Amino acid sequence: MLEIDIEKLKVAQARACLSLEELANKAGISRSSVSKIMRGERRANPKTIGLLAKAMELDVIELIKR
């Protein structure tokens, strides 16, 4: 099962110079969902991980735990 690496997600967000709201809008995900994922309160399903990666022009592999 894919598991998102929260630290990698935060670094990618910073590199993309996106606020939480901008990332959520670009990914087509609610701001609340992205916020909960970043705080570790919610697990991201594979589709959500894909949407976040696509929004930041990354390969999914760059956001998952290995």
Q: What is the pLDDT of residues 42-54, one digit of tens each?
A: 999 999 999 999 9
Please tell me the CATH superfamily of domain 6-58, with its number: lambda repressor-like DNA-binding domains (1.10.260.40)
Contact 3, 64 (CB under 8 A): yes
Using CA atoms, how far apart are residues 13 and 7, in angstroms rounded to an integer?
A: 10
pLDDT on residue 2 = 84
Q: Enumerate the domain spans of the chain.
A: 6-58
Which tokens belong to 17? 């110079």
* Per-residue DSSP letter, 40: T
Using CA atoms, how far apart are residues 23 and 20, in angstroms rounded to an integer?
A: 5
Q: Which residues of the chain have pLDDT under 50?
A: none
pTM: 0.94
